[in-house]
Structure 1
Amino acid sequence: MATTHEVIPEYTPPDFNRLGLAHAPVVQTAAAPKDGVLPKNYHATSNHPEYVHLGNGEWILARQSRMDSVMVLRGRELEVVEPRRVRAGDPVVLGRTENGEEGIYLHISGFEPLSEHFADKFSFRNRGTRETPFSRSYDELYQVLRHDRDTGYIVWVLGPAVAFDMDSRSAMQGLIESGYCHALLAGNALATHDLEAARFRTGLGQDIYTQAFQPMGHYNHLDIINEVRQRGSIPAAIEELNLRDGIMYACEKRGIPYVLAGSIRDDGPLPEVIGDTYQAQDAMRVHAKMATTVIAMATQLHSIAFGNMVPSYHVLDDGTVRPVFFYVVDMTEFCVDKLANRGSAQAVAILTNAQDFMVNLWNNLRG
C-alpha cells in the first residue's frame, strides 16, 4: 500500500533567507473606506500559497487563499475575504507585487517534485488532451481517494449526465455509501433526474438502462418535481414515496451535505435549490475551504465556478500544507482549458464520458 508521502506530495515552504527576503519591507494595510469597497492598491489573491511579512523575518501564510479575494490583517491574524464581505475599517493588505518587494510573496513551486527541475525546457504533450492516455491519472486518483476517504474531504461537482445512466448512477451511489464523498455540489437538474430515476426509472423520459423513450416520459421530471414540492423537501419525498436508490437517497442515508445551486433554466425548482446566486456561492465556499480532492464532472459552468473558489493547497490542523487535487472529467478539453485560463492550473483533465468514468472508478474502489 502506498504511503501518505507517496500519495500526497510534501510541501516545501519558501526559504526567505535564501531568497534574500529576510529584511524585506513589512507588509502595509489600509482601512476599507466602506462596506464592500476596497482601498486603493489593494492586493488581490491567487489560489497559490501567499505569505506576508510582519517584520523581523517573520512571514505568515494565508490560509485558504483563493482567486480574486483580498487579505485582511488583524495583528498576526491573516484572513482571506471576498471583496463583497469586506467591512468599513477592515485593514486590507496592500501591494501589487509578488516577490517580496512590498512584503508579499507568492509561492508557486511548493509541491513541485525535484525531477521537475531537471526536465527539458521543451517537451511534447505537456497538457491533457484527447490523445492523452489517462491510465496514470486513474491510478493516482484511486490512491488519492483511498487516502482522502479517511483523512481528507472529497467534494463532487456533478452534472445530470451521471443520473441518466443506470450504471453510472449506481456507481455514484456506491461511492457515496462507501465513504468516497464528503459533499456534493450540483444544480436542480442532477437532483431532479436522479429522483426521476428513483421514481420512474427514467432520465428525461428515457429508460436509464435501455435509453428507450417511455410513453409520456417527458412529463416524468416535472411530475417528480411536483411531488417533491408537494411534500416540502427531498428527504420527505424519499420517505413518503419509498424511494430506495440513487444519488440523493445515498446522500440522505449517509448524512452527506449537498448544495444545489439554481440557474435561469431550472424547472420547478426542487425545494432545496438555492435561487439566490450569492447565497449559493456562500454555501459552496464552505466546502471549497475544506476540500482536499475535487472531482468535477459533466458540468462545465459549475466546474469552472467551483474551480475559481478552491485553493490549490490546504492547511491541516497541525499546520501541514498539502495540495488540493482537482480532477475535471468531461468529453472535451474546454473545461480544463477554461480553468487554466482562469488561474486553476492545477486542474487535471480526464477526457471521457461520465458513464465510463464512474463505472471504472467504482470497479476499482469497491470492496
Structure 2
Amino acid sequence: MMNAQTHLPSFHEDVELAGHIIDSLLLPKVLDEITSLGGDYQSQEIRIGHNRRDPSYVRLTVSAPTQESLEQILTSIGQHGAVPVQHHDIRLLAADIERAFPEGFYATTNEPTEVRWSNKWIPVERQEMDCGICFDPKQETARCVAMADVKRGDHIVVGRLGTRVHPVGRDRLSTHSFGFMNSTVSSEKPKNLTVREIAELMRRAASGQGRILVVAGPAVVHTGSRELLSWLIRRGYVHVLFAGNALATHDIEQSFYGTSLGISMESGGGSEEGHEHHLRTINRIRRLGSIPQAVEQKVLTNGIMYECIQHKIPFVLAGSIRDDGPLPDVITDSLVAQTRMRELVQGVTFCLMIATTLHSIAVGNLLPSWVKTVCVDINPATVTKLADRGTFQSVGLVTDVEPFLRVLVQELGGMQD
C-alpha cells in the first residue's frame, strides 16, 4: 500500500461494488488485488446489509503511481465486480483480419457481463471465459466470440471502459439444493448426503426445470458403470453427452464382445485376442457408416451410445491425437468440436463430469459461472486443475466412478427397468 508520505504522482478513479460482496469475499479480494498490484485505496462510502440476503455497497477511490498501473488495477478488480462510478460507453474496433481480435481487446470471464452503449447496460450473451465481445451497434446486442470465430469487420469491444461484471456470489451458488458447495474438493464429507443433493438437482432438471450435461470418460465403462449411466439416459436424467472416442469405443466393445480394453466385464480376466476388440469394434462401426446406422440395423442393441440414439440425446465425441480409428462419429477437428459443444451447452443448468480430466477442463472453460458443476474423479488433481483454470463453480467429489453412480441411481429411484 502506498505510504501517505510518498510524493509519487497519484492517478486515481472512483469505483463501486454492490451485491453480496461481504459473504462472497469479493470485497477482500478487491482490496487485496489493489495493494498487491502496488495501488492504494480510500473508502468513500460503505453500506453493509443487515441480513444474509441483503446486498452491501462500497465506494472506493483507487489510486496508483502511474496511469498504466492504475489501468492494470482497474482491469483486474473489474473481474470481481468493481466498476467505475463515472460510466463510459464501450469502445469498439473493427476486426481487421479473420480469426484474430484487435490489439487491446476485452478478455471475458465466465461471470455475467454487461456492456454500456447509448447510456444503456446490455447483457452479453453466450457467456464464456477467454473470449472477446462482439457488439452489433444496429441491433444493440453483445455476445462472446471465440478468437477462431472472429470475422473481418466484426465490432469488437476494446479496453475495460463500458464493461461491468456481476460475480456470482455465495447466495446464488449455495442454495439449499447445492449446499455442499462450501469447499472445492470433498474427499472426507459424507458422500451419501452430497449425492442426495446432486440427485435432487437432477430431479428438478428432469422435470423440466433445467438441462443436464454429462461429461464422461472411458472409466465409466472400465469400472462396470455402463448400465448405470445407460439407466440415467433412459430415465431422462441426461440431456446432452460429451465424451471422446474412448468412451464410445469401449461402450460398444462391451456390447459386441463383453469386454472393455479386452478385459471381461463378467470375470474381470483377460480374453483371448482381447487386445484387438476395440479395433474390431471401431472397424465394424466404420463399415456400417456410423453409430446411428449400427442401431438402425440392429447391430448395436444396448449401452450408452445405443440409449443416446434411441432417446435422441445429442452428443459430441471430440477426438484427440491418440485416438485409434477413430469412430466415424468422432469430430477430429478440435475447433469444429468446440463450436458444436458451444452450441449444446446453451441452456445447460447442471453439469456432471465423470472421470475425465481433459474433457472436464475443456467443458469447464465453456460454461458460464452460474452453471452448477460437479466433478467426480478418483484423483483430486482433476478438480484442482479445473479450479486453477478459473472454473470456480466446480465442486469435486473424490471417489471411484461405480460407487458414485450406483448411489446416485439408487437416490433417483433405483434400476427397476
TM-score for the superposition, normalised by structure 1: 0.83
Runs of 5+ consecutive residues of structure 1 not aligned to the other structure? 1-11, 97-101, 117-124, 313-322
For each residue in 1:233-252, what CA deviation from the matched residue of structure 2 results, as whole angstroms up to 9, or x when unmatched?
A: 11222343543221011001
1:112 corresponds, among 149, 153, 171, to 171
Q: 3-state SS of the aligned residue for 2:254? A: helix
1:90 has 2:137 as partner? no
* Inter-partner Cα distance in structure 2 for 1:151 and 1:219: 44
Cα offset, 1:40, TM superposition = 2.4
Aligned to 2:289: 232
1:24 has 2:24 as partner? no
2:390 corresponds, among 331, 339, 343, to 343
Cα offset, 1:289, TM superposition = 2.4
Taking a change above 3 Å as real, the CA distance of residues 222 and 262 of structure 1, as seen in their structure-2 partners, is same
Runs of 5+ consecutive residues of structure 2 not aligned to the other structure? 1-52, 60-81, 176-181
CA contact 1:288–1:311 (8 Å) conserved in 2: no
1:80 corresponds, among 138, 141, 144, to 144
2:112 corresponds, among 40, 45, 49, to 49
Cα offset, 1:158, TM superposition = 0.7
CA contact 1:152–1:291 (8 Å) conserved in 2: yes
Aligned residue runs from structure 1 range 209-248, under 5 A = 209-240=266-297, 242-248=299-305
* Inter-partner Cα distance in structure 1 for 2:83 and 2:97: 37
Q: 3-state SS of the aligned residue for 1:328? A: strand
| Aligned amino acid, residue 350 of structure 1 | L
CA contact 1:72–1:78 (8 Å) conserved in 2: yes
Aligned to 1:35: 98
* Inter-partner Cα distance in structure 2 for 1:107 and 1:306: 22
2:221 corresponds, among 158, 163, 181, to 163
1:362 corresponds, among 406, 409, 415, to 409
Aligned to 2:39: none
* Inter-partner Cα distance in structure 1 for 2:98 and 2:113: 25
Q: Specify which structure has the higher proportion of strand.
A: 2
Moved more, 289-298 or 231-240: 231-240
* Inter-partner Cα distance in structure 2 for 1:341 and 1:154: 24
CA contact 1:206–1:214 (8 Å) conserved in 2: yes
Cα offset, 1:279, TM superposition = 1.1
TM-score for the superposition, normalised by structure 2: 0.74
Cα offset, 1:103, TM superposition = 1.7
Q: Which has the higher contact order (CA 8 A, sep 6+)?
A: 1
Aligned to 1:59: 121
Cα offset, 1:337, TM superposition = 1.0
Aligned residue runs from structure 1 range 180-259, under 5 A = 180-240=237-297, 242-259=299-316
Aligned to 2:132: 70
* Inter-partner Cα distance in structure 2 for 1:103 and 1:216: 64
Identical counterparts, % of pairs: 39
- C-alpha RMSD of the superposition: 2.6
Cα offset, 1:84, TM superposition = 1.7
Aligned to 2:353: 296
Taking a change above 3 Å as real, the CA distance of residues 13 and 21 of structure 1, as seen in their structure-2 partners, is farther
CA contact 1:25–1:55 (8 Å) conserved in 2: no
Larger radius of gyration, structure 1 or 2?
2
